[in-house]
């Protein structure tokens, strides 16, 4: 949690915030599909998430920045991670929610430990910097403030096949990013894979919102033998379309037929590699 005055009672996946409200909401989180370290380069300042609605330990203090990450676990395992801020002195906090139909339904881990303004940083080295879920820890929550009893780490999560989690990560010190590394033996569902797109490939969709038809246009600098996959917002693959793309602009039309209203993603893969993606809405 941000600084408080206790005298009062009481192979990298990379991303960058391109505009305000980009990935700062559970409605449009970053979707992770494998155990590679994830690098978030920098934040944009955003409106604080009203975490009190979910009975979490974080109160409505205004964080400098935040980002949401979503994973779906495919095995019975232990889910753990470490968040290492780019600025080693930054106060990073997080909440892990169970996800029900893409909505954060229950806060099961909450890290709010942070620096106190009435103490020196040297006496609070355990309350900032690297944080996460670590084997051997027993706490499910650390509330705001700093003490010698706090470690800045919480207990890993015992998972089951199909379990979904939303992770809210906040920075109370700066807009500098972090590196997220996974520990434990949890494996992630690959259908949730959305990572930084290939810089030589761009995917454009129109109209947006769409109804019966969706026009897609892919520009690329090199030939691609790949597959377009249509995902629902819940991460379900609705259609797979083989494509043979040539350098330059490639255009086609996709019939939406019985696909109901909602938010969707169109992803371009070459083998296991994601080359581009875009989101759109269907309104009928």
pLDDT in tens, 224-268: 999 998 877 656 678 899 999 999 999 999 999 889 998 888 888
Each residue's pLDDT, cut to its tens digit, for the chain (284 residues) gives: 433 322 222 245 444 333 333 355 665 678 887 788 888 877 665 555 544 444 446 554 556 677 889 898 989 999 999 999 988 878 888 999 998 766 677 889 999 887 555 455 555 566 778 899 999 999 999 888 787 788 889 999 999 998 999 998 888 777 788 999 999 899 887 665 544 445 578 899 999 999 999 999 999 998 999 999 887 765 667 889 999 999 999 999 999 988 999 888 888 888 767 787 788 999 99
d(C-alpha 121, C-alpha 250), whole Å: 56
d(C-alpha 192, C-alpha 72), whole Å: 7
- Residue carrying the six token digits 């604080």: 48
Tokens of 103: 């909505």
Q: What three-state secondary structure class fits 153?
A: strand
Tokens of 46: 């955003």
Tokens of 38: 């994830």
Report residue 221: phi and psi, to 5°: -95, 0
The CA dihedral of 189, 190, 196, 197, to the nearest 10 degrees, is -150
d(C-alpha 90, C-alpha 121), whole Å: 11
């Amino acid at each position: 949690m941000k600084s408080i005055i206790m005298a009062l009672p009481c192979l990298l996946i990379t991303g960058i915030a391109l505009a305000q409200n980009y990935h700062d909401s559970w409605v449009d989180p970053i979707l992770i599909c494998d155990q590679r370290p994830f690098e978030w380069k920098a934040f944009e300042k955003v409106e604080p998430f009203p975490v009190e609605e979910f009975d979490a330990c974080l109160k409505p203090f205004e964080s400098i920045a935040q980002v949401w990450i979503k994973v779906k676990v495919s095995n019975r395992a232990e889910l753990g991670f470490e968040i290492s801020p780019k600025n080693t002195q930054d106060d990073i906090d997080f909440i892990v929610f169970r996800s029900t139909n893409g909505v954060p339904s229950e806060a099961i881990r909450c890290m709010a430990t942070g620096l106190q303004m009435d103490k020196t940083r040297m006496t609070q080295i355990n309350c900032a910097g690297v944080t996460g879920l670590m084997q051997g820890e027993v706490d499910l929550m650390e509330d705001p403030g700093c003490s010698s009893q706090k470690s800045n780490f919480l207990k890993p999560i015992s998972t089951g096949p199909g379990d979904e989690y939303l992770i809210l990560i906040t920075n109370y010190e700066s807009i500098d990013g972090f590196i997220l590394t996974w520990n434990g033996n949890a494996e992630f569902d690959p259908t949730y894979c959305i990572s930084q797109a290939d810089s030589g490939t761009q995917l454009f969709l129109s109209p947006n919102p769409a109804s019966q038809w969706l026009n897609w246009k892919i520009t690329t600098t090199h030939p691609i033998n790949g597959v377009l996959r249509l995902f629902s917002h819940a991460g379900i693959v609705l259609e797979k379309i083989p494509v043979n793309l040539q350098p330059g602009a490639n255009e086609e039309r996709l019939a939406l037929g019985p696909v109901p209203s909602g938010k969707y993603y169109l992803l371009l893969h070459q083998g296991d590699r994601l080359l581009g993606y875009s989101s759109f809405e269907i309104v009928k």
